[in-house]
Amino acid sequence: VNVAIVGVGLVGSEFIAQVIATQSKKIAVVAVANSRQFLTSPTPLTASWKTDLASASKAFTLDAFTASLAASKATNPTVVLDCTSNENVAAYYPTWLEAGFHVVTPNKKAFSGDLSLYKKIKEIANGAPGAPLVYHESTVGAGLPVINTLNDLVNTGDKITKIEGIFSGTLSYIFNNFSTLDASAEPVQFSKVVSVAKDLGYTEPDPRDDLNGMDVARKVIILGRVAGLDLTQETVNVENIVPESLRSLSSEEFMKKLPEFDSHFEKLNKEAIQNGQVLRYVGLVDPIHGKSSVTLARYPASHPFASLKGSDNIIAFTTERFPSPLIIQGSGAGAAVTAFGIYSDILKIAERTQ
């Protein structure tokens, strides 16, 4: 398949590097675009693609990029890979699909935003013979096989009773270090853990973008929709753990004042630990009771979520066939694993369109 990439930052660049390193015979990257310009090529791009793109003369617009792909009249199927987190690009998917292009993306916007956009995408990519394909494995858990597994459960007629998970590597790291039943672990203040996570590059530039729960909510919405629920941001109850008085400050002021709330988080943690539990920030898809949520919850030592280490993600699917949950765990963030998820998706399209 031919691949045309919109967005060549960390993840887009890493994907190209993996394709070049593996000398894939099934994938040819023939177009790349950043927000300023784009480059199309009749032959697969090589390791010099960054230099070539920098000297490209075509100004980037979605329309111009798409017209250029259509004009190339490629004999192989074309996959448009969106590596941005841009809403305007996500809104363009129906146009690409109607033009006969397939779409692969780690961009969560189309699958967690406007429900009518999501339904339009599903209507075009409807699984009929010859219909365009859409894969978005990397929107939840980076390269972990989360959406693929959920699709398999749904498509084989299993009944989902609950999907529960620690979907944020950032919040996994913060609470795995802050709230532990390991007696040998040094007690640590919440603000200190957040500060260390920020310094390590685990958090967004403004850690409130992680702590407010919206990123986890998007992942809950995506999984809920794949499971057949019409979830929206209005129907998911999200617990924002940023103290209210710190929500409107600058990022610097927020970090400066967060230690004033260490006692609040310490109290929550002590209450949990006294009951043999730990705190974990968890997303829940609840098809049975219709109460999907994102909350700071408590789990006993025996629960898989309690023994999580580092910044791993963990997702548990409870279904009719798997009353004891099917669990997926591993690294759920980072350019290498996200690019791996994308690469896997594109290979699936290559196999399905042969």
List the CATH number of the domain containing 15. Answer: 3.40.50.720
Average pLDDT over residues 1-10: 96
List 81's β-bridge partners, or say none: 5, 104
| 35 found inside a domain | yes
CA distance linking residue 89 with residue 95, whole number of Å: 10
Comparing CA positions, the residue from 178, 184, 163 lying closest to residue 280 is 178
- 219 noted as active-site residue: yes
| 44 found inside a domain | yes
What percent of the chain is predicted at pLDDT more than 70? Answer: 100
In single-letter form, the type of residue at position 119 comes to K
| Residue 230: predicted pLDDT | 97
Instruction: Write out the two tokens for 100.
Output: 């006969």
Residue 140: pLDDT over 80: yes
Query: Concatenated DSSP letters for 276-327?
Result: TEEEEEEEEE-TTTT--EEEEEEEETTSGGGG--TTEEEEEEEESS-SSPEE
Q: What is the mean pLDDT of the chain?
A: 95
User: According to the annotation, is 169 in a ligand binding site?
Assistant: no
User: According to the annotation, is 10 in a ligand binding site?
Assistant: yes
Residue 200: pLDDT over 90: no
| 186 found inside a domain | yes
In single-letter form, the type of residue at position 192 comes to K
Claim to verify: residue 264 and residue 161 sit in the same structural domain = yes
Residue 339: pLDDT over 90: yes
CA distance linking residue 17 with residue 338, whole number of Å: 13
CA distance linking residue 13 with residue 339, whole number of Å: 9
Total domains, the chain: 2
Claim to verify: residue 253 and residue 317 sit in the same structural domain = yes
Claim to verify: residue 183 and residue 136 sit in the same structural domain = no
Host domain of residue 80: 2-143+335-352
Residue 240: pLDDT over 80: yes
Q: Compute φ and ψ for 320, nearest 5 degrees.
A: -60, -40
| 149 found inside a domain | no
pLDDT (tens digit per residue) in 31-53: 999 999 999 999 999 999 999 99
pLDDT (tens digit per residue) in 50-70: 999 999 999 999 999 999 999
User: According to the annotation, is 310 in a ligand binding site?
Assistant: no
Residues 167 and 220 sit within 8 Å (Cβ to Cβ): yes
| Residue 158: predicted pLDDT | 98
| Residue 96: predicted pLDDT | 98
62 CB-near residues (< 8 Å, 6+ apart): 6, 88, 89, 92, 95
| Residue 74: predicted pLDDT | 78
Claim to verify: residue 186 and residue 233 sit in the same structural domain = yes
Question: Binning pLDDT at 50, 70 and 90, where does residue 215 land?
Answer: very high
Catalytic residue among 26, 159, 219, 257: 219
| 148 found inside a domain | no
User: According to the annotation, is 157 in a ligand binding site?
Assistant: no
| 322 found inside a domain | yes
Claim to verify: residue 67 and residue 18 sit in the same structural domain = yes
pLDDT (tens digit per residue) in 144-189: 999 999 999 999 999 999 999 999 999 999 999 999 998 888 889 9
Residue 73: pLDDT over 90: no
User: According to the annotation, is 141 in a ligand binding site?
Assistant: no
CA distance linking residue 240 with residue 216, whole number of Å: 11
Claim to verify: residue 220 and residue 251 sit in the same structural domain = yes
How far, in whole angstroms, is CA 19 from its chain's centroid? 21
CA distance linking residue 3 with residue 16, whole number of Å: 10
CA distance linking residue 329 with residue 192, whole number of Å: 26
Claim to verify: residue 159 and residue 258 sit in the same structural domain = yes
Q: CATH code at 158?
A: 3.30.360.10
Indicate the SS3 state at residue 212: coil
| Residue 334: predicted pLDDT | 85
Whether the pTM exceeds 0.85: the reply is yes
Question: Binning pLDDT at 50, 70 and 90, where does residue 304 land?
Answer: very high
pLDDT (tens digit per residue) in 251-260: 999 999 999 9
Going from the C-alpha of 102 to that of each of 4, 75, 122, 154, 316, the distances in angstroms are 10, 14, 12, 22, 30
Claim to verify: residue 168 and residue 110 sit in the same structural domain = no
Strand spans (E) along the chain: 2-6, 28-33, 37-40, 58-59, 78-82, 102-104, 134-135, 160-166, 237-238, 277-285, 293-300, 312-319, 326-331
Claim to verify: residue 126 and residue 208 sit in the same structural domain = no
Exposed/middle/buried for 207, CB within 10 Å: 0-12, 13-18, 19+? buried
Claim to verify: residue 285 and residue 160 sit in the same structural domain = yes
pLDDT (tens digit per residue) in 113-136: 999 999 999 999 999 999 999 999
Claim to verify: residue 118 and residue 162 sit in the same structural domain = no
Check residues 136 and 73 and name the one with the higher pLDDT. Answer: 136
202 CB-near residues (< 8 Å, 6+ apart): 169, 170, 173, 311, 333
User: According to the annotation, is 75 in a ligand binding site?
Assistant: no
DSSP-assigned letter for residue 34: -
Claim to verify: residue 213 and residue 87 sit in the same structural domain = no
